[in-house]
Amino acid sequence: NHHLSVAIDGPAAAGKSTVAKIVADKLGYIYIDTGAMYRAVTFEALRHDIDLEDEDALQRLVGKMDIDLRAAAGKQQHVFINDENVTEEIRTHNVTNSVSIVAKHKSVREEMVERQRILAQRGGVVMDGRDIGTHVLPHAEVKVFLLASVDERAKRRHAENLAKGFDSDLDKLKEEIARRDKLDSEREFAPLVKADDAKEIDTTSLSIVQVVDKIMEIVKETE
Ligand code: C5P
């Protein structure tokens, strides 16, 4: 088994983290959720009342943050800021709707990308995000771009929310997902875009298992 790098990019709520985690477990690779890193910075900034447009303040904050992603095989990934478990806190509505503002800043991205490259340097990684195939790991042997219609993505999130017993408004979810995609696609530095050499998978009418199988096929062709 070669130690490949697998880059999985795509818009919000396209199922990237779910399939990336399963693919990593199947390959015995480590899984790196780069969105969790931007979420951690956002959570910390909100907690310290930092203006999300203040790039210098955010850069100073990031400098003081150790962000640790701990993912054991078959288990949920846990996220720690300076050894504090913030796994649940980084998934709140408030963080989700602010993260694209924080993630647009060049100095924040540069620091995150540097850390992501260190985590990936030995290979044997599945990394998901927005700019992995284009920017973080441009030489990744496997690049996948996961797509699904906004309606389908909102429906999936809605079902997840209801299953967890959370309040959920389908139309609001559609709006928020579309807004996040727009901000992520239109930002100046490393925007969300499919890498030329990425394989596109439209998951709108596919199950999780079907998406995982397609990615595993691409990995096998590459090995
Ligand atoms: O993947 P997830 O939805 O958790 O990502 C949250 C946000 O983090 C994205 O909407 C985007 O603004 C930012 N992000 C990014 N680059 C990445 C991963 C996430 O800008 N590689």
Nearest CA to ligand 1 atom 10: 100
Upper half-sphere CA count for residue 66 (Cβ side, 13 Å):
7
Burial of 128 (0-12, 13-18, 19+ CB in 10 A): buried
Q: Using one digit for the tens of pLDDT, what is the confidence trace for 85-110? A: 999 999 999 999 999 999 999 999 99
5 marked as part of a ligand binding site = no
Per-residue pLDDT tens digits for 11-69: 999 999 999 999 999 999 999 999 999 999 999 999 999 999 999 999 999 999 999 99
Determine whether the annotation assigns residue 12 to a binding site.
yes
Decide if 36 contacts 90 (C-beta within 8 A). yes
Q: How far is the CA of 180 from the centre of ligand 1 (A)?
A: 9
**Does ligand 1 have an atom closer than 6 angstroms to the CB of 95?**
no
For residue 13, give the ligand 1 atom closest to its CA. 3
* Ligand 1 atom at minimum distance from 34 CA: 18
3-state secondary structure 169-211: CHHHHHHHHHHHHHHHHHCCCCCCCCCCCCEEEECCCCCHHHH
Asked if the interface predicted TM-score (ipTM) of this complex is over 0.90, the answer is yes
What are 197's two structure tokens? 């050499």
Mutational pocket test of ligand 1: of 18, 33, 34, the residue with most ligand atoms within 8 Å of the beta carbon: 34
Instruction: Answer yes or no: is pLDDT of 163 > 60.
Output: yes
- The pLDDT, as a whole number, for residue 166 is 87
Q: Which two tokens stand for residue 164?
A: 């967890």
What is the pLDDT confidence band of residue 1, given thresholds at 50, 70 and 90?
A: low
User: Ligand 1 within 6 A of 99 CB?
Assistant: yes
The answer to the question of whether 40 is labelled as a binding residue is: no
Residue 146 and residue 210 in contact, taking contact as beta carbons nearer than 8 Å: no
**Binding residue per annotation — 13?**
yes
Ligand 1 close to Cβ of residue 12 (< 6 A) = yes
- pTM value is 0.96
Per-residue pLDDT band at 223 (split at 50, 70, 90): confident
- What are the φ/ψ torsions at residue 203 (nearest 5 degrees)? -95, 5
With tokens 């796994």, the residue in question is: 87
- Give CA separation, 182 vs 55, 150, 191, in Å: 20, 12, 10
Ligand 1 nearest atom to the CA of residue 9, by list position: 21
Within 13 Å, how many C-alpha atoms sit on residue 26's CB side? 16
